[in-house]
Chain A
């Protein structure tokens, strides 16, 4: 079964607020994690990634946190904008494998 899953299937936030999307994984052999954004009718778009030897990585308005002790991954979006409305997927890559394993996704809705 799936080893990458999300705690919340939907998340509704007010424009300007911060958003936090969570993800759990179960395989300690995973060495690389990625967050993707998927808008309706489009393919997944890379947001940010993190290697297993890191705890935190920041991008433009986004931060990914990795807690290997509890096998938890989170995506933080600062000052959420209407354009951030989409489905967000976390994905993992296991050591020695080339494919990505995706979770089911969280739908983020931004209220104006």
Chain B
């Protein structure tokens, strides 16, 4: 079975640009979460979506936005990129909304974003 897939694998942008990252969850999974992992740190929660609705948001500025589509895939959008946005962006999917039960979040390989 295919795991969580993310695209693109790598991306290089310049300051001020905008970027869209994509995630396809495991088949049957309805919840998608986004995390930012800066080099040498643990992942930091950005968003959680379930059934196309935002169900949680981390401490990130409004430049970060996301959405979930009817097929449960998701996009993360970051506007007005800053150097500090350089990181590995991880997508995780789970069967249900993780807050409602103990269910495992499966992570994708991530998109490596470099902002110059």
Contact = CB atoms under 8 A, between A and B. Distances in A.
Interface of A: 2, 4, 32, 34, 36, 41-46, 49, 51, 89, 91, 93, 96-105
B98 A46 contact: no
A98 B48 contact: yes
Size bin of chain B's contact surface: 20 to 34
B48 A104 contact: no
Contact of A98 (B44, B55, B104, B106): B55
Contacts of A102: 35, 42-44
B42 A98 contact: no
Nearest to A31: B102
Given A43-B90, A44-B90, A98 B98 contact: yes
Most chain B beta-carbon contacts within 10 A, residue among A2, A51, A97, A103 = A97
A49 B101 CA distance: 13
Chain B residues touching A, majority SS: mixed
Contacts of A105: 41-42
A104 B105 CA distance: 18
Contact of B99 (A43, A45, A96, A104): A96
A41 B109 contact: yes
B98 A99 contact: yes
Given A49-B102, A98-B48, A98-B97, A43 B42 contact: no
B33 interface: yes
B107 interface: yes
Nearest to B110: A43
B42 A104 contact: yes
A43 B45 contact: no
